[in-house]
Amino acid sequence: MGNGSRSTQAASGGAGAVYGLGFIGAIVYYWQHADGLWWHLWSIVEAIFWPAFLVYDLLSHLGS
């Protein structure tokens, strides 16, 4: 294979690292604001899907 597959893998690795750092930051943020067992469990879900929440909030602010 050519060098094109290596550059694609390198770019994917960088995106994974950014998502991983974002996940850690999101879980710390949401965990600190949680109160009670169910809110702590929900904070884990929010940390996993934080990019979706971010895009939704951005689009809702742009649309109004």
For residue 51, what pLDDT is reported?
87
- Centre a 10 Å sphere on the Cβ of residue 31 and count the other Cβ atoms it contains: 14
Torsion sign (Cα): 64, 33, 41, 18: positive
Task: Report H helices in the chain.
Answer: 4-32, 37-48, 50-63
Residue 11 has pLDDT above 70, yes or no: no
- Report the pLDDT averaged over residues 5-31: 79
Answer whether 0.85 is exceeded by the pTM: no
For residue 18, what pLDDT is reported?
84
Percent of the chain at pLDDT > 90 equals: 50
